[in-house]
Amino acid sequence: MLRGWLRLLLDVVFPATCEGCDTTLPAGHPSCLCDACKAALGRAEGSLCERCGVPVASDSPCAACRTRPPAFGRARAAGWYVSGSVLASAVQSLKYRRRRHVADVLGAHLAAHYPFPTDVVLVPVPLHPARLRARGFNQALLLARALGRRCGLPVASRALVRRRATRAQPGLDAAERRRNLRHAFRVRTPGAVAGRRVVLVDDVLTTGATADACARALLVAGALRVDVYTVGRAP
């Protein structure tokens, strides 16, 4: 109760703003997004590739997945990651403005849109130690923890590690991303995933190259199946 009153007092003295549109939130507002932005997060719907979740006109899986099937079984996202959208603004606020509390509302958004089996273990996509030190946190881990709290699922936070630094992925095509990520991940604690169904968690899925590389490492370590769930998906 005391914590609630303290938060209310802080909201009055230092009004919070919406992480989606920067409007002032009313004192005591339960979310870092205003009601309008929360409703505008949307959902990745329509005709989707059964494997990678990209929009398709009719045939599924998509041409890319037919040509080179990914190691993961299925990839789905809570919404479309489009420049200027509320979802993109919220993800960028989490990653680049270091607004860690945004992970709670984004994790809840993901949890609300998909049923997760009770026997899965959540594994966040890891950052290289140098990137982790620079940012101060791993946004995928914060999202996995938020999702785990909502769904009552365990999080294997240290199972998967990035063993070498890679070039930044933006600007690279799909083939370049795959080469960039070759042998970049390994499973440090195989016992956490061996014989388990794994849900790989990340903020945004673009080409799926990172998810594919992570899934291959997890399957080599004995995971039964790897599915990918992200907050956003590049259409």
Cβ-proximal residues to 180 (8 Å cutoff; 6+ apart), any chain: 166, 167, 169, 172, 209
Helix (H), strand (E) at residue 7? helix 2-13
- Please report the pLDDT score of residue 14 as a whole number: 53
The average pLDDT across 127-146 equals: 93
CA distance 95 to 89: 10
The more confidently predicted of residues 14 and 201 is 201
Same domain, yes or no, for 16 and 49?
no
Q: How many domains does the chain have?
A: 2
The average pLDDT across 159-165 equals: 86
Same domain, yes or no, for 22 and 65?
no
Same domain, yes or no, for 127 and 167?
yes
- Please report the pLDDT score of residue 88 as a whole number: 94
Helix (H), strand (E) at residue 198? strand 197-205
Same domain, yes or no, for 111 and 14?
no
Q: In this predicted structure, which of 26-30, 104-108, 111-115 has the lowest mean pLDDT?
A: 26-30
Same domain, yes or no, for 131 and 201?
yes
Q: Which of the four pLDDT bands, split at 50, 70 and 90, describes residue 32?
A: confident
Same domain, yes or no, for 59 and 167?
yes
pLDDT for residue 89 is more than 80: yes
Same domain, yes or no, for 36 and 58?
no
- C-alpha distances (whole Å) from 59 to each of 44, 51, 62 are 18, 12, 6
CATH number at residue 106: 3.40.50.2020
Same domain, yes or no, for 35 and 111?
no
Same domain, yes or no, for 46 and 34?
no
Q: Which of the four pLDDT bands, split at 50, 70 and 90, describes residue 5?
A: very low
Same domain, yes or no, for 121 and 147?
yes
Same domain, yes or no, for 146 and 220?
yes
CA distance 166 to 57: 34
- Please report the pLDDT score of residue 9 as a whole number: 47
- Please report the pLDDT score of residue 170 as a whole number: 60
Range of the domain at 32: 1-40
Give tens-digit pLDDT for 165-224.
665 656 666 666 667 677 789 999 999 999 999 999 999 999 899 999 999 999 999 999
Here the tokens at position 4 are 């609630």
Q: Using CB atoms within 10 A of its CB, is residue 27 exposed (0-12), middle (13-18) or buried (19+)?
A: middle
- Please report the pLDDT score of residue 139 as a whole number: 97
Same domain, yes or no, for 49 and 33?
no
